[in-house]
Amino acid sequence: MELKLALKVDDLDNVATIFANGITDGTVVAVRDKKGNHEDIPVIGDVPYGHKIALRDIAKGERIMKYGECIGAASADIRKGEYVHVHNLEALRGRGDL
Is 73 inside a domain boundary? Answer: yes
Task: Please report whether residue 97 resides in a domain.
Answer: no
Assign residue 84 the CATH number of its domain: 2.30.130.110
> Is residue 42 in some structural domain?
yes
pLDDT score at 31? 98
Of 1, 96, 3, 14, the residue nearest 57 (C-alpha):
14
Cα 59 to chain center, whole Å?
13
In the chain, the number of structural domains is 1
Question: Would 71 be classed as within a structural domain?
Answer: yes
Divide the 98 residues of the chain into consecutive groups of 10 and give the mean pLDDT of each group. Answer: 90 97 96 95 97 98 96 97 95 65
Tell me which residue range forms the domain holding 36: 5-90
- How far, in Å, CA of 64 to CA of 91, rounded? 9
Positive or negative torsion for Cα 28, 50, 83, 65: positive
Nearest to 12 by CA among 75, 71, 59: 71
Domain assignment of residue 95, yes or no: no
Q: What is the pTM of this model?
A: 0.91
